[in-house]
A = this chain, B = another copy of it.
């Protein structure tokens, strides 16, 4: 990375040291490197070499590297590193990261590793894994610091100094005797306070929390909205059970964007990194939509059959079929991705439907007219030798604005209505809009042709 001030060892250097089996030099070279950077370097190596380097790392570094490395190297490590060692590494990791690691493994392997872990750590991880996937409970760490309101600042600082683990010290939460969440103390307020003040004198009581059952997307939205660095997680009785930190939210946002993008492309999300899933899994995720769209596409064939007489009479009409369907599909694809993204970001809401429709209709008429003119010029200069070609060109010119208009209307209304019906609008993919617009666009084309050419 050119923007990074710390110089990382080059890949060539690592490869050379590996070929020379210069283990001490390698260890020394990596000693000063951040675990996240070591993970980055391993991702650049051949998987087998990555495993060799990994074995040289001390336990605490290795555990972080295991957590940060890409799916390909990670898979190699899971296969090649022995299970005792893997369990030790998992013991070192924050429990939410350990849970995330285990949930991607086959159940049998995960169960064996859990049995090999320290009983306390394993129990924490099992608890997290007992919550549903993609909820706050699964993502949180239970390692949260809770203060009592009557403590003085001096007592609080003593308490903090004696804490063994201090991963999540950015916010300090205040609970009552029943562990109900009643406030939050930012660490900076603690530093500014006098030592004989009570915690309650500096705590904020307007603390936002998420339910342990909250969906990760709602959680990410809240963290982004409040600009929090961490979000307390409470159970159904408002008891503090854990905390989700913003670094997890970064990962969630990336995952959610991946899901949205894959859905927009017309397949079910893979839910895992590209190389981590089997080919059959990929086929299963893609076949459903492909088959549905395939069946829907036969509708387009039916439209053509409907107008087969016209097509046989004016064979030149057939040449423009892909142009008409393609343009409608492309315009619809542009609109549906824009509208769906605006819905996801809250820029557009259900009740804005008419306003969005007004914009997209204007855009469609402008785009369609431009394309119609270009289409006309293109087709009259297209030397086809057909007698009827000039007339067909006029049909094409008039069809294009109507098809783009229709595509934009469908691509606007369908996702917004889906949102209103509480269906995730990203299931409305670009291929779906394309397929729907194909049949109707051709219908418009042939009807105009019939009328103008007097067929």
A residues sitting closer than 8 Å to B (CB atoms) are: 1-6, 32, 34, 36-37, 40, 43, 68, 70-72, 136, 157, 160-161, 166, 169-170, 181, 187-188, 190-192, 206, 208-211, 213-215, 218-219, 221-227, 229, 234, 238, 246-247, 249-251, 253-254, 257-258, 260-262, 264-267, 270, 273-275, 279-280, 282-283, 286-287, 289-291, 293-295, 297-298, 300-301, 304-305, 308, 311-312, 315, 318-323, 325-327, 329-331, 333-334, 336-342, 345-348, 352, 355-356, 359, 362-363, 366-367, 370-371, 374-375, 378, 382, 384, 429-431, 434-435, 438-439, 442
CB distance from A87 to the nearest CB of B (A): 23
**CB pair A345 B6 closer than 8 Å:** no
Residue from B4, B266, B320 in contact with A330 in the complex, judged by beta carbons closer than 8 Å: B266
Question: A435–B430 Cα gap in the complex (Å)?
Answer: 14
Residue from B6, B251, B273, B356 in contact with A347 in the complex, judged by beta carbons closer than 8 Å: B273
**CB pair A338 B224 closer than 8 Å:** no
CB distance from A27 to the nearest CB of B (A): 16
CB distance from A375 to the nearest CB of B (A): 7
A257 — which chain B residues lie within 8 A by C-beta?
Answer: 253, 257, 260-261, 341
Identical copies in the complex = 2
Given pairs A1-B218, A258-B345, A300-B322, 5 additional interface contacts (CB within 8 A): A5-B210, A34-B206, A274-B347, A280-B366, A295-B378
Question: A358–B315 Cα gap in the complex (Å)?
Answer: 41
**CB pair B371 A294 closer than 8 Å:** yes
Q: Which residue on chain B has the smallest CB distance to residue A186?
A: B169
**CB pair B264 A264 closer than 8 Å:** yes
**CB pair A319 B291 closer than 8 Å:** no
CB distance from A74 to the nearest CB of B (A): 11
| Residue of A32, A338, A352, A439 ringed by the most chain B CB atoms within 10 A | A338
Q: Which residue on chain B has the smallest CB distance to residue A238?
A: B5
